Structures are given as structure tokens and as C-alpha cells.
Amino acid sequence: MAVSRRRVERLLNLTMCLMATSRFLTVSELGELVEGYEPGVTAEEQEAFRRMFERDKAYLREIGIPLETGRGSVFSDEVGYRVHRGDYALPDLELAPDEAAALALAGSLWSVAALAGPAASALRKLAASGASVAGAGPGGEIVSGSGDQVGGGAGAVGLGVLDGFEPRVDATEPAFEACLAAVQAGRVIRFPYRKVGDAEAAERHVEPWGVLSWRGRWYLVGHDLHRGAERVFRLSRVAGAVRLVGPAGAVQVPADVDLAAMVSAQAPAERVRTATLAVRHGTCHALRRGAQAVSTGCIPPARPRPVFPADMDLLERTFTDTERFARWIVGSGPDVLVLDPPELRTAVIARLQAAAGPAATDGG
């Protein structure tokens, strides 16, 4: 049975409230104490609240939470409820060093705002228990998918250094979830992929072996069926939807595969390039901080003079990852125009067209 996020939060609040006291709480008391309940004023509203409570009570018992019933007080015969902590609370968690390391790396995986805070909180609780974990490698590598590898780093660090820590691994690439799901299900995938310097994307047909982060970039490692060879793909260069094909369990990962070694050997070195941008006056301050203003009068005669609106400034800024830089530029909307290089301009246009929907490409 599907449970909405709002109901999950209400059920958690109800369970915590029932565990927080040794006495039995009546339905009316729970209506006042539990966030998410609204007992209401009219008879209809109160009846709706009680029906909601009965459904929540039945669900908690269905999933194994031991609700006890008893009298709410010595002065009343009204039935009350509680959860005896000894029947439900877990014992203290004791972790071996390797177990603590695995949990810490898992908690460090996500950088999205919704999960960064809870993950950091969990890591601090491990630190409070005296746990010590192995640190990530010098490139921040964290492996997900096949095999038993959980990173390539050396040296142990105390979790106490995590004060104020927020997980830093960026997993915002649209292809991330689909690729990871394919690895876990053992399914072949197809996707359009744009190599460095190519204006057009080419279709890839891959048996995925694993997904890992290396030096701040996410990579898919697998067997390219078209080329008949092992290949490494940077997820930021996947230029469209990742499609799962074939049955689950069809992909068998070689027992001796070393994902981190493959990425370190095949991932291309970062090539620093310069983008020429037109930026509207008084906007995009973060972009301007790393850029250099260019005067059109200083452009050599051999180079073509850029054409851009009069209310914009001409800037140059270096970058290494085309897709990541394009994603940042798109966030500035119409305040930035990409004049050069062509592959960056193409990547920005593709993202804008995808955001606009079919009307942008169908002439609507």
C-alpha cells in the first residue's frame, strides 16, 4: 500500500509521541499533541479526525509497532494508547570499524539539500558513539554498484572532524538515478552520449558494471556492446534519457573488474578552455567573479568581432566540464549569451530547448 510523505511524517510523529510517555494517551490528547492531526471543532471534523486516527492505528499495528491500550487516567474509562519503549526501541548500536566506515561513506554520498542535513546528523551520531572511519580517497572517490569496493582512499580519520560537515558529492546529473538503477538491476541500457569536442550525441548501448565518483565527477563503467570493449562514460555528458532494455539480471559483472582503476586510466585529463560570454549589465555576479572583462577594441583584427546586445558586457571565463558549465549558465536565463566555443553554445541551447518542452522544437 502506497503511503504519502505527509502521512509518513504524521505516523512518525504519532509513534514518537506514544513512546515519549509511560502513561496511556487518549485519542483527544493525541489530537492535540501530534503534529499533522486536526481534531476540528464541528462534529463532522471530529469524526473525520477519529477515522484518520483509526486508520493510522491499524497501519502501525500492521507494520509491527506494538500499540498497547489502557485507561487514559484513573478518573476516566476512556481508552488510551502507548508504545512501551522496551518492546520497540532498538538496543545501542555497536559497529566494527569497517561497518562504521561503510556507513560514513554512504552518508557522504548525497549533496542534495534534502539529504545533506540528515546525513550529516547521522554521521555526528556515529562520532558521538566513538566511531572512527576511513576517509575517502584524495580524489573523493566513492563507489556505488558492483563489487565490494567502497572508495579508494587511505588513512583513517575521526568522525569528530565532521562538525559543520555537509556531504559534498554532487549527484545532480539527470542520468545518475537511471544508471545506478540499471547497475543494481543488472539491465542493459541505451543513451545518447556527447564526447568532448563533438557537437552531436551518438547512441551508446552498454552493459553497466558500476557508477562511481572520481575527482568530483560521476562516471558509468561498463561494456560498450557496439565497440565490444570496456568503456568509461562521464554522466554529465549523457545528452538525453537513459533507457533500460532487456531483462533484469542479464548483465554479469566480471569478478576481477576494478572500477576505480578503469576510471583513473580512461577518464580524460581535464582540458581547460575559455568561454566568451555576453552578460547583461548588473547581473550574474557569481559568474563575473571568476571572469575577465574583454574590451572589443583589444580584439585582434584577425578575429571576428562578436555581436551582442548593447546592454551586455563581454566576458571570458575558463572552464573544464562543458555540461556542468552549461547547466550553470542556463540557470542565469536570458542574462547570459554564449558566443564561443560552439560546443558550449550547443549544450546550453539543448538544455534550454529541453526546459521549454516540445513547443520549442516544433515551432509552437
CB 134 within 8 A of CB 155: yes
Helix (H) or strand (E) holding 207: strand 202-214
Q: Measure the CA–CA gap between 286 and 193, rounded to whole angstroms.
A: 29
Helices 342-356 & 322-330 angle (0-180, nearest 10): 50
Residue 142 is predicted with a pLDDT of 39
What is the CA 106 to chain-centroid distance, rounded? 12
What are the CA-CA distances from residue 231 to residues 60, 198, 212 (Å)?
48, 18, 13
Question: What is the CATH code for 5-88?
Answer: 1.10.10
Q: pTM score > 0.75 for this model?
A: no
Helix (H) or strand (E) holding 102: helix 97-107
Boundaries of every domain in the chain = 5-88, 97-162, 176-266, 273-362
CA-closest candidate to residue 112, choices 177, 23, 44, 54: 177
Residue 194 is predicted with a pLDDT of 86
Fold classification of 176-266 is SH3 type barrels. (2.30.30)
Q: What is the dihedral of CA 17, 21, 24, 30, to 10 degrees?
A: -30
Q: Measure the CA–CA gap between 358 and 348, rounded to whole angstroms.
A: 16
CA-closest candidate to residue 215, choices 273, 287, 135, 270: 270
CB 221 within 8 A of CB 144: no
* Tens-digit pLDDT string for the chain (364 aa): 556 778 888 888 888 888 888 888 888 889 888 888 888 888 888 899 999 999 999 988 888 888 888 876 656 678 889 987 776 666 666 777 777 766 666 665 554 444 455 666 666 665 555 554 444 333 333 344 433 333 333 333 444 444 444 444 555 678 888 998 999 999 999 999 988 767 788 999 999 999 988 877 889 999 999 999 999 999 988 988 999 998 999 999 998 888 888 888 887 666 788 999 999 998 988 888 888 888 766 665 666 667 788 899 999 999 887 877 888 898 888 899 999 888 889 888 888 887 776 554 444 4
Name, in order, each residue with C-beta under 8 angstroms of 310's C-beta and a sequence gap of 6 or more.
none
